[in-house]
Amino acid sequence: MAGWCGFVLLANLTSLLLARRGLNNHWLNYIVTPVSGALLLWSLSLWQRSALSALALRLAIPLLALTWTGIVLRFENTRTFSLLAEPFAGLLVLGAAIYTLVSRGFADPGNVVRQDWLWVGLGLAFYAGGAIALPPASNWLMQRSPELVVKAYEVKSLVEILALLAIARGLTCPLPPTSPSGGSSWPGSSRWPSSLPVSSLPS
């Protein structure tokens, strides 16, 4: 998740630099979004309580790559807002985030407010939600009401700030205590035998 945050920061700085120079920066989003989605799906897979759920999220990464490529080549104009590709990626990440929140919420006892997966999942749900309807709506409105598009993206920016603050809160959550069996509830580990093994955990 920290790597994803750094990647998004770098992408936004590059996009801002292109815009300041009067250059089209829409094409950059067609490169950034699938990489960002892959990082998020892999991160969320580490919070799953079962090997099957983790595998499903990891298999969604090549699905995202193949579907994204097909949609972009067939339907998209990379010099403007996305019609289908970005909403597809947003739905995939949103679904993974909501599934993680629901499955971990039922499985994990205790005070969930102190759990990293809760804050990260909530942040990602809000972050991905903006990518579903806004890009295609902006594509349609850009020639009709560009001022409305600007206002919509200003609101989206505020939502993303709140989402990133929630993710930052999750990243600063303390490490969970080690269970009597020697395991930990840190992402990727579980007290259940069906969970995926983790080769290395923070000490």
pLDDT of residue 198: 39
How far are the Cα atoms of 29, 69, 93, 186, 192 from residue 36, in angstroms, in the given order?
A: 10, 15, 10, 22, 30
pLDDT tens digits for range 110-169: 778 889 999 999 999 999 988 898 998 898 888 888 899 999 999 999 999 999 999 999
pLDDT tens digits for range 11-48: 999 999 999 999 999 999 999 999 999 999 999 999 99
pLDDT tens digits for range 77-97: 999 999 999 999 999 999 999
The DSSP element (H or E) to which 125 belongs, if any, is helix 116-141
In angstroms, the CA 184 to CA 53 distance is 18
The residue ranking higher by pLDDT, 177 or 137, is: 137
Q: Give the residue-averaged pLDDT of 56-68.
A: 97
Tell me, yes or no, whether 192 lies in a domain. no
Domain that holds residue 33: 2-171
pLDDT of residue 194: 39
pLDDT of residue 178: 54
Tell me, yes or no, whether 165 lies in a domain. yes
Is 80 exceeded by the pLDDT of residue 65? yes
Tell me, yes or no, whether 202 lies in a domain. no
In angstroms, the CA 173 to CA 180 distance is 21
Q: Give the residue-averaged pLDDT of 41-56.
A: 95
Tell me, yes or no, whether 181 lies in a domain. no
* pLDDT, averaged across the chain: 86
Tell me, yes or no, whether 66 lies in a domain. yes
Tell me, yes or no, whether 201 lies in a domain. no
Q: Give the residue-averaged pLDDT of 174-185.
A: 53
Q: Give the residue-averaged pLDDT of 100-116.
A: 86
Q: How many domains does the chain have?
A: 1
Tell me, yes or no, whether 186 lies in a domain. no
Residues in Cβ contact with 197 at an 8 Å cutoff, skipping those fewer than 6 apart: none
- Band the pLDDT of 177: cuts 50, 70, 90: low
